[in-house]
Structures are given as structure tokens and as C-alpha cells.
Structure 1
Amino acid sequence: MLKRLLQKHDRLWNDATRHPFLEGCQAGTIRPEQFNTWLTQDYLFVVEFTRFLANVLAAAPVAHFDVLLGGLVAIKEELNWFREKARERGLNLEAEKQATCEEYTQYLASWGVKPYPVQATALWAIELAYNQGWQLPGQMTAPYDEFADRWGNPGFTEYVKCLERQANESWQTASEGVQPQAEAVFCEVARLERDFWQMAFSETG
């Protein structure tokens, strides 16, 4: 079912996962201040994403707990990793959210009260965008290969596949009114992911 969303909205998804920011990381041409903007804002996003993931767990059937709990455990390590990278780069993680990040995190909060199939679709789409985005350009040059490995490694890829299976299961019992909501959220994730990459160029600081 979810694969149909990727096919139906292929151009939108392509924009979400193939972006000059990622190409610049692959080529080593991204400017440090651009990457630092993305890194700081992504940390702020992940803080709110953690809350969203907890809401998904609260709405999920018990059979889906193991995968989601695994995601929460990984998020704890990821937040610490972000803080380590920020220290290495001398970045202030207490920065204000920029407009794009603020918009995305507000959507995250609103999705946390949606029916579970909508939440599961959003979670899968967010994680898939990172998984594909960091893989598709090809082998990254240092130091960006570390970031590509975090979201492009086989373990994370398998996690995304598990999220896809769970979201597909939730669609099977969803009412007709819920499925259009899930599709709309998928499209919003794609748009917001595209804009988040672009933020590194348009809102550097």
C-alpha cells in the first residue's frame, strides 16, 4: 500500500530525497556553515521527533511495540551523538528553531493526535526520507560519510522496512476516511523534507 504512495507521488518524493545539499555532501563541496545550519536545526527537530515517536508508541497496537521501542532506544543514542558532533564543531544547540524547522515540528505535534495509521505512515516516511536521502548520492566524502552511515547503514534500512510493514498493517484496518489523511501526511512529509534540506542554503546562520 505504501509503495503506491511512492509511485503516485514520485516527483514529490524525488525532491525529498535528492537534493543539492546531499549532493554537496557527497562531493565535499557543501560549505561548513551550510552543514552546521542543517546539523543544529536537525538536532532541534530530533528533540521534537522523540516526542512524536513516543506518541506513536502510545497509539500503537502491542504487536508493534518492539520495533517502536527499538526506535526510541536508538533516538537516545542519536541525541547524544548530535551533542558530540556539535561540541566538535563548536555549535550552540540552544539556538532558535528557524522557520522551516518550526513549521516541521509544529506538524509533528499535530500528527501525534492523528489516528494510528496516519502516525505510522508519517513515521515511516520521515525515516525513509533520511534512509534514502543519505544513500542515493553514493559514497560520501569525509567527514560526511559518518552522517551517511548513520542513516544509510543496513541496520537502519531494516528498521525502516519494519516501519513500512507495520504501517501497511495499520492501513488494512483503517477506515476510508483515515487513508486519505495518511496520504496527505505522506505528501506533507515529502514537502517538509525537501524544505529542510533547502534551509541549509536559504537560512544559514
Structure 2
Amino acid sequence: MAAGLFERLKADNAAVWDAYTRHDFVKGIQSGKLPREAFEFYLKQDYLFLIQFARAYALAIFKADNMTEMRAGLNGVKAILEIEMALHVAYCADWGIAEKDLETLEEAPENVAYTRFVLERGMAGDLLDLMVALSPCAIGYGEIGLALAESRDTKIEGNPYLSWIEMYAGAEYQELVAGMTAEIDEIAVTRFTEPRFAGLSKTFGTATKLEADFWQMGLNAA
């Protein structure tokens, strides 16, 4: 059953997904009380994270079986290198983090663990393995942003993280989320079989745990 594969994976890892999407880092963004040092460390590491995810989408081109899939991978690479990186650099500048400082950063162990896991799953498996490993980040941020934007408990006035919430709750990012969810289901049409579910669920669960560790990395730096 290929339809709704992402939702099946999320349901199969409900506790882990909840720990990721409701992490104390996320709650700090919601209340506006997240220590600035935690957020700035996260922002810096996220720059390096994007570089590795660009490599992952480049790998998606290699793993593709047809031109449609290759173009989707190319679009992912271009979106990161030509759009997201520039936006991230500009956002970091708003927080007083210069581009030259981003270029000399050292990757935190949590960053290395997460991004290399994604690349390893992509290299060892097929395109579906890779996209499942990527999905907790790409789709999860959209779910988190939307949930915070719609929650009555989210601090609006004076919240220094409001722009972060608005970015991931915004129509442009939500469209990306819908597109990736649909892409996973489309890829699954020719690659998914029921015996694969356990392995894919394990990949999804591990990637989600590593996402939560990425949040914790920021808290630990404060």
C-alpha cells in the first residue's frame, strides 16, 4: 500500500514524532523564552546542515530511475543552493551572525550524526530510503510551524522567534510540505512493498530521533 506512506510512518513512530515536534526547544520558540544562545547556535549549525542536505538531494538525482525523479532532485539542490542558503545567510545576519563566520564553523557532533545518517541511508538504499530519511526535517518543520501559528498558547507580541514560526507556517513552505509528501507516495508506487515497511519505519524513527537531538544540541549550547 503506497498511498499515505508518510502518515503510516509517522503513526508507527508516534512517540518519537511527538518528542521531536513538542521538544523543549520548540516550546521555547512558542513562548519566546528560548535562550538566544541556543537559537543562535542552532542557526549556525543549520547553515552546515543545509550544505549536507544539498548533497542528499544531489544523491537523489543519482538514485532516480527516470527524468521526472531526476528533475525533482535537481529542484531540491537548486532550491537549497540558490534560494535557501541565501535566505538563511540573511536571516543569520538579522541575528548578528556574519556570513564569514558561517563559513568557518565546525560541525557539531549532532549535526554530523544526523546528516551522515541521511546520506548513508541514501547510498545504501534506494530513492525511497533517502526520501524517508529526509522527510522528518522537511515535512516536520512545516507541521511544527503550522501548529505554533495556530496555537493560542503561542506568544505573538514581542516574540523574537515569530518570524521563524511564520516562515514555516507560511503558504510557500506548506506547499513544499504537501509536495514532498506527495512525492514520497509517488516514489512508493514503484518501490514500496509491505515487507519493506519495517525497515523504512526504522529509518524514519532514527531520523526523527536525530532531529530531536538537533534541537537538544541548541539547548545544550545555551
Give the letter for the 2:27 counterpart: E
Give the letter for the 2:83 counterpart: E
Counterpart Cα distance in 1 of 2:67 and 2:201: 24
Q: Is the 8 A contact 2:132 2:204 kept in 1?
A: yes
Alpha-carbon distance, 1:101 to partner = 0.9
TM-score, scaled relative to structure 2: 0.82
Residue deviations 1:35-81, cap 9 Å, x none? 10111111111111111011113323323345444433331211112
Give the letter for the 1:181 counterpart: G
Match of 1:180 in 2: 198
Mapped pair 1:72 → 2:77? yes
Give the letter for the 1:99 counterpart: P
Residue number among 155, 159, 163 corresponding to 2:176 in the alignment: 159
Q: What is the aligned-residue RMSD (CA, Å)?
A: 2.1
Mapped pair 1:150 → 2:167? yes
Match of 2:94 in 1: 88
Give the letter for the 2:168 counterpart: W
Alpha-carbon distance, 1:178 to partner = 4.4
Mapped pair 1:14 → 2:18? yes
Q: Which moved more, 1:34-43 or 1:67-76?
A: 67-76
Match of 1:132 in 2: 143
Say which SS state the counterpart of residue 112 (structure 1) adopts: helix
Unaligned runs of 5+ in 2: none
Q: Is the 8 A contact 2:13 2:201 kept in 1?
A: no
Q: Which moved more, 1:129-138 or 1:175-184?
A: 175-184
Q: Is the 8 A contact 2:55 2:77 kept in 1?
A: no
Q: Is the 8 A contact 2:142 2:169 kept in 1?
A: yes
Counterpart Cα distance in 2 of 1:6 and 1:79: 28
Q: Is the 8 A contact 2:49 2:111 kept in 1?
A: yes
Residue deviations 1:170-201, cap 9 Å, x none? 22322656443322211111101111111111
Indicate how the Cα distance of structure 1 residues 99 and 140 shifts in structure 2: closer, same or farther if over 3 A, else same. farther
Unaligned runs of 5+ in 1: none
Give the letter for the 1:112 counterpart: G
Match of 2:119 in 1: 109
TM-score, scaled relative to structure 1: 0.88
Q: Which moved more, 1:166-175 or 1:78-87?
A: 166-175
Say which SS state the counterpart of residue 107 (structure 2) adopts: coil
Q: Which moved more, 1:120-129 or 1:173-182?
A: 173-182
Counterpart Cα distance in 2 of 1:32 and 1:99: 21
Give the letter for the 2:31 counterpart: A
